[in-house]
Amino acid sequence: FFQRTLAAVKSWFTLFGWSKGQNPISIPQSLRCDVCIVQLTVSQEKTFKRKLDKDKGFYEMLLHLYGQSIPGIAASQSLPRDPVERMFHLHWQHSELLSFLKSQGAYLSHVMPEFLLAPEDYRIWAEVNTGLRRGSIRSSGKLCGKRIFVLEDSAFETMSKRAWTDVLLQIYKVFVLPRVSSRIVPDPSSLESLQNIPKIKSEPLCSNIYSRYERAILIWLNKNYEKNRKIVWKDSQRGGIPPTRWIVNFDQDLLDGLVLAAQMAAYCPYLIPTHFIKMYTNPSTQEQFLHNSLILVEALNAVGLDIDIKV
């Protein structure tokens, strides 16, 4: 599950995270390289500077998604030459980042600033905070010194990957999802059929699972599915018109591909005779679910949305 989540996060931020085209990322390596590791090729300077492709840095991505700079953090920065001072600066920077994201509604109480550091900076952080020499940090899961939780290298890599993944997911939640409009324009032609579907409330406090933006998407899914199911599959030879359904989640209710196909048909009706008419409208076997998924992915590719979704 986490590997599939990681792949989806990498794909979305690679394709849509930056203002000027795609920027392939790896989690956590490229993100840590951007904000944590300085170039060690500068010889006689008092500071090291990040040397990155313009518009391709982590904070440039945040500037693109948020619309303005993160308070107190510059996209272009100089870092202290001394490794310990550099570590302290980066630890402070990550603390500021996490505090800012949490102030915007992100759930990141489980992510510590040190988990976002590069491995070499994390070793320095552990040495400074535990009083141990850099080469003797082998506590792995024990509390030492000032109750600092120190991880071995392999455990730290796992924790760092999870921390950066959660940071990106929460960035998506607080900066991208709010762009979804909760205004649903009534369509007179579909009002009668929609009256039989239980309503999903979009008020902020009516769900402890989905945000109001996610519930707005669920409302949109219900509306388009109910409006289009009789149009898309009116001539279906593989089960007839699918029944009415109440869409309340983003996993189980989307498994057969019909709901997503109805959304695409609302905007690309030319895909109905070439793709969606071939779908099973009452799938009951794994082969039929796979068949529908293949058609859905082919339809995405046909309109240029080749975002590496696996069937």
pLDDT higher than 60, residue 268: yes
Q: How do residues 75-86 score in pLDDT, each as one tens digit?
A: 556 778 888 998
| Residue 190 CB coordination number (10 Å) | 15
Q: How do residues 170-197 score in pLDDT, each as one tens digit?
A: 999 999 988 876 565 445 444 455 556 6
How high is the pLDDT of residue 205? 58
Q: Is residue 311 part of a domain?
A: no
Compute the distance between CA of residue 74 and CA of residue 60 in angstroms, rounded to an integer: 9
Q: Say if residue 157 is in the same domain as residue 194.
A: no
Q: Is residue 189 part of a domain?
A: yes
Q: Say if residue 194 is in the same domain as residue 172.
A: no
Q: Say if residue 155 is in the same domain as residue 280.
A: no
Q: How do residues 2-50 score in pLDDT, each as one tens digit?
A: 888 999 999 999 999 988 888 888 899 888 876 643 433 333 344 444 4
Please state the length of the chain: 311
Number of domains in the chain: 2
Do 261 and 299 touch, CB atoms closer than 8 A?
Answer: yes
Q: Which of 158, 179, 200 is the last residue of a domain?
A: 179
Q: How do residues 117-142 score in pLDDT, each as one tens digit?
A: 999 999 999 999 887 544 444 444 44
Phi, psi at residue 85, to the nearest 5°?
-65, -40
How high is the pLDDT of residue 34? 62
How high is the pLDDT of residue 236? 86
Structure tokens at 211: 């945000």
Instruction: List b or e across 67-103, with b for residues whose CB sees 16 or more CB atoms inside 10 angstroms.
Output: eeebeebebebebbeeeeebbbbbbebbeebbebbee
Q: Say if residue 221 is in the same domain as residue 128.
A: no
Q: Which of 133, 158, 179 is the last residue of a domain?
A: 179
Q: Say if residue 67 is in the same domain as residue 118.
A: yes
Rounded average pLDDT over 255-284: 94
Angle formed by the axes of helices 153-171 and 2-16, nearest 10°: 50
Q: Say if residue 128 is in the same domain as residue 160.
A: yes
How high is the pLDDT of residue 206? 61
Phi, psi at residue 148, to the nearest 5°?
-100, 130
Supply the mean pLDDT for the chain.
Answer: 81
Q: Say if residue 55 is in the same domain as residue 138.
A: yes
Range of the domain at 131: 1-179
Percentage, residues of the chain above pLDDT 70? 77
Rg for the chain, CA atoms, rounded = 24
Q: Is residue 309 part of a domain?
A: no
Compute the distance between CA of residue 77 and CA of residue 133 in angstroms, rounded to an integer: 29
Q: Say if residue 7 is in the same domain as residue 137.
A: yes
pLDDT higher than 80, residue 167: yes
